Amino acid sequence: MTMTTAAGIGNRVRMMPSLTTAGPFLALFILVCLGYLMNRDFLAMSNVLNVVTRSAFTAIIAVGATFVISTGGLDLSVGSMVAFVTGIMILFMNMVAGDIGLWAIPAGMAVVVVAGSLCGLLNGAIVTLGKIEPFIVTLGTMGIFRALITYMANGGTIPIDASLREAYRPVYFGAIAGIPVPIVVSAAVAILASFILYKTKFGRRCAAVGANEDVARYSGISVATIRTAAFAIQGLCVGIAAICYVPRLGAATPTTGSLWELQVITAVVIGGTPLRGGTGRIWGTIAGAIILEVIGNLMVLSDFVSEYLVAAVQGVIIIIAMLVQRLSK
Amino acid sequence: MKGCSWLKAAAFSVTALGLVTVQSAAGFADDTTIAVSIPAADHGWTAGIVYHAQQAAKEVEAAFPHIKVIVKTSPSASDQASALEDLVASRKVDALVILPYSSEELTAPVKEIKKKGTFITVVDRGLNDPTIQDLYLAGDNIAVGRTTADYMKQALGGKGDIVVLRGIPTVIDDERIKGFQDALQGSNIKILEMQYAHWNSDEGFKVMQDFLAKYSKIDAVWANDDDMLLGVLEAIKQSGRKDIKLALGGNGMKQMIEKVKAGDALTPIEVPYPPSMIKTAIYMTAAQYNGQAPIRGKVKLDAPLITKENADEYYFPQSPF
């Protein structure tokens, strides 16, 4: 995805969220008001926490996708990658659980983070060394990861060892100071990511590469390194999301994470990061992920959408959210 | 080519004639070939199909040394059509047991094979032209819904508020829902709401969380497939709610059968749409090549209630599903 926009690099790099980046938050606010009007239970604490917790997987992965997309790349493999690394993690934990007991859980977390990063690195390396469009590369690895998890599971389910199940549950269902763990994790990921993207040389280079590859190259930036690193960050985020995902249902299946890549890309774009790259908006992405989950929640809580039309209404709301985001500029 | 298939057909009928007289002598190995064409394992239920087909192949070959069973899995409808061509190109196939990916795309290829005189057994999903099949064997999706509803009526004393999770909008899903709704008619059980959760555990979890947020009292939940029920059970557990008396599924996943065996309070019964039906079909097809058991016709496996007493019959601990 070579970018040839006329605009210079400077004005595309967002140092901090400003008024112009308020779009997704405005859309989220409107949606929340609508939700409250439709059903008072919508703002019940338990419902709000459920929805935001559920959005954590999409949010964490989408933070990684913000890096990839800001460099002008695209990663379609994230949904399959979640399933694949989740499978690796569970198989590993079950294997060592007999020897090291509950230590299998932190060991599994380390394994899944490494596995995710390596998967991302693989994507990045094929894109940059092979000089192939990221769309095609990640379409390929999407199929590969999906086939591997299906093979590992014999098409069925890979459940976590019963001795680890209860001890690991709090990582999804538990709370720190009243805030569910997945929300704490995604907030931490977002804070760290916005620091990297907005405050470091690497972050500015990501945007520069996405805005104009040639200009970036002429100014001495190693485009290949930056792009590969962005894919590796994406993989790392997938690994972190898997850590929170496994304790929820305690299993990996061939349908785990199916179509998550579309959710993730939608969250990033609703959040204000253009698909052509050059800009990344971490907090917008987080808002985008929450918007998607709120829409799903509202479809059930409101009474006037037929179950047959849910997908259509969701589509309309996403497009309207996009327009709100555009018009507020 | 035409003449060639003529010759083959002639040769085949001669062999077939010979079989009747010579078979008892059991003189020749690999005399009969049964080809099995099924979808590749891409989710729990198809994984069960693959497992049971392979088991049946092993068992039939061990029991009847003159029968050879070839199992071929395909990841899509077009792959299955190509696989059929390959299967019959290289060898004589006496019988084909097929679980078609889609009725539309597989009807013509199966018809071609039928022309060669192959015995055709169709499983689960019918072909567009029912004259092609010699034997049709399927489960009963309407009964899956009906059996569940009948149990629910009895267990809830004929009244209560329930929620339902549907799968993917397909005939299978529609039939299950129809059987369920029809059986509930006349009772005071009210379906508060139905939502699609696409036979997916994660979506089942989300939809159930939302149902719990929306309704302060739910007496029972029906997820028309066990994958979704996995997510439903986690959502109920997290909410800590005590008003839900029943959470039922369908299909016969081994984790759920284990709950039934253990006498679980929320999930005390299960209703099968068992992938082991492929095994039933392979055994029936093989029967005519050993004894002389006429098997042409239609077979519909019922969806009986699985309780603690008969759970072992439907429990396959080695199966991935």
pLDDT of B64 higher than 70: yes
Q: What is the pLDDT of residues A243-267, one digit of tens each?
A: 999 999 999 999 999 899 999 999 9
Q: How confident is the model at residue A14 (pLDDT cuts 50, 70, 90)?
A: very low
* Cβ proximity of A267 and A245 under 8 Å: no
Residue B206: list chain A partners with CB under 8 A.
Answer: 54, 296-297
pLDDT of A222 higher than 50: yes
Contact B195 A310 (CB under 8 A): yes
- Determine the residue of chain A that is closest to B165 in CA distance: A307
Say what angle helices A282-301 and A310-327 make with each other, to 10 degrees: 140
Residue A158: list chain B partners with CB under 8 A.
Answer: none
Looking at every residue in chain B, the average pLDDT score rounds to 88
Residue A156: list chain B partners with CB under 8 A.
Answer: 41, 44, 47-48, 319-321
Strand partners of residue B161 = B190
Q: Which of B189-193, B271-275, B278-282 has the lowest mean pLDDT?
A: B271-275
Residue B196: list chain A partners with CB under 8 A.
Answer: 307, 310
Question: Which residues make Cβ contacts (< 8 Å) with residue B278, sequence separation at least 6?
Answer: B36, B38, B49, B52, B53, B56, B97, B99, B123
For residue B177, give how far its alpha carbon lies from the nearest alpha carbon of chain A (Å).
13
Contact B200 A258 (CB under 8 A): yes
What is the predicted pLDDT for the residue at B5?
Answer: 47
Given its phi and psi angles, is residue A82 left (phi above 0), alpha (psi -120 to 50 degrees) or beta?
Answer: alpha
Within its chain, how far is the Cα of B126 from the centroid? 12
Looking at every residue in chain A, the average pLDDT score rounds to 90
Rounded Cα distance, A184 and A52, in Å: 11
What is the predicted pLDDT for the residue at B15?
Answer: 46
**Integer-rounded Cα radius of gyration of chain B:** 22
Q: What percent of chain A has pLDDT over 90?
A: 76
Instruction: State whether residue A166 sits within 8 Å of chain B by CB.
Output: no
Task: Output B105 or B183, whichever has higher pLDDT.
Answer: B183
First vs last Cα of chain A: how many Å apart?
A: 25
- Determine the residue of chain A that is closest to B201 in CA distance: A249
Residue B207: list chain A partners with CB under 8 A.
Answer: 300
What is the predicted pLDDT for the residue at B292?
Answer: 79
Phi, psi torsion values for A179, nearest 5 degrees: -105, 125
Q: What is the pLDDT of residues A21-76, one digit of tens each?
A: 788 899 899 999 999 998 888 999 999 999 999 999 999 999 999 999 999 999 99
3-state secondary structure of A54: helix
What is the predicted pLDDT for the residue at A18?
Answer: 52
In terms of average pLDDT, the best of A2-6, A11-15, A325-329, B13-17 is A325-329
Average confidence (pLDDT) over B87-111? 89
Number of C-beta neighbours around residue A39 at 10 A: 18
Instruction: State whether residue A228 sits within 8 Å of chain B by CB.
Output: no
* Cβ proximity of B42 and A155 under 8 Å: yes
Rounded Cα distance, B226 and B233, in Å: 10
How far is CA A265 from each of CA A62, A75, A77, A210, B178, rounded to the nearest angstrom? 7, 9, 11, 16, 37
A313, containing H or E segment: helix A310-327
pLDDT of B172 higher than 90: no
Instruction: State whether residue A162 sits within 8 Å of chain B by CB.
Output: no
**Whole-model pTM?**
0.82
Q: Which residue intervals of chain B are DSSP H helices?
A: 2-22, 44-63, 77-90, 103-115, 141-155, 171-184, 201-214, 226-239, 254-261, 277-287
What is the predicted pLDDT for the residue at B103?
Answer: 85
Q: What percent of chain A has pLDDT over 70?
A: 93
Strand partners of residue B138 = B300
Rounded Cα distance, B141 and B250, in Å: 10
Q: Across the interface, which of A150, A249, A310 has its CB nearest the CB of B230?
A: A249
Q: What percent of chain B has pLDDT over 90?
A: 72
Average confidence (pLDDT) over B286-315? 91
Q: Could you tell me the domains of chain A?
A: 51-327 (1.10.3470)
Chain A interface mutation, best of B210, B216, B241, highest count of A Cβ atoms under 10 Å: B210
Residue B44: list chain A partners with CB under 8 A.
Answer: 155-157, 253
Task: Output A54 or B28, whichever has higher pLDDT.
Answer: A54
How far is CA A167 from each of CA A112, A173, B72, B238, rounded to the nearest angstrom? 18, 11, 42, 15
What is the predicted pLDDT for the residue at A200?
Answer: 96
What is the predicted pLDDT for the residue at B49?
Answer: 94
Strand partners of residue B306 = B270
What is the predicted pLDDT for the residue at A210?
Answer: 94
Instruction: State whether residue A157 sits within 8 Å of chain B by CB.
Output: yes
Instruction: State whether residue A248 sits within 8 Å of chain B by CB.
Output: yes
Task: Output A5 or A285, whichever has higher pLDDT.
Answer: A285
Average confidence (pLDDT) over A200-205? 95
What is the predicted pLDDT for the residue at A328?
Answer: 67
Given its phi and psi angles, is residue B186 left (phi above 0), alpha (psi -120 to 50 degrees) or beta?
Answer: left
What is the predicted pLDDT for the residue at A58?
Answer: 95
Average confidence (pLDDT) over B270-285? 94
- Determine the residue of chain A that is closest to B213 in CA distance: A47
* Cβ proximity of B284 and B120 under 8 Å: no
What is the predicted pLDDT for the residue at A20?
Answer: 56
Q: What percent of chain B has pLDDT over 70?
A: 91
pLDDT of B21 higher than 70: no
Task: Output B12 or B139, whichever has higher pLDDT.
Answer: B139
ipTM of the complex: 0.81
Residue B194: list chain A partners with CB under 8 A.
Answer: 307
For residue A201, give how far its alpha carbon lies from the nearest alpha carbon of chain B (Å).
39
Q: What is the pLDDT of residues A301-320, one digit of tens each?
A: 887 788 888 888 888 988 88
Q: What is the pLDDT of residues B130-154, one digit of tens each?
A: 899 999 999 999 999 999 999 999 9
Collect all residues from B whose CB is shorter than 8 A from any CB in A: 40-44, 46-48, 50-51, 166, 169, 193-196, 199-202, 205-207, 209-211, 213-214, 227, 230-231, 234, 238-239, 255, 319-321
Rounded Cα distance, A65 and B98, in Å: 43
pLDDT of B215 higher than 70: yes
What's the DSSP call for residue B170? S
Rounded Cα distance, B311 and B269, in Å: 9
pLDDT of A268 higher than 70: yes
Q: How confident is the model at residue B235 (pLDDT cuts 50, 70, 90)?
A: very high
Q: How confident is the model at residue B310 (pLDDT cuts 50, 70, 90)?
A: very high
* Cβ proximity of A244 and A182 under 8 Å: yes
Average confidence (pLDDT) over B80-95? 88
What is the predicted pLDDT for the residue at B92?
Answer: 87
Rounded Cα distance, A77 and A92, in Å: 22
Residue whose structure tokens are 């720190």 = A176
Rounded Cα distance, B160 and B164, in Å: 13
Rounded Cα distance, B145 and A173, in Å: 32
Q: Which of A309-318, A319-328, B163-172, B269-278 has the lowest mean pLDDT?
A: A319-328
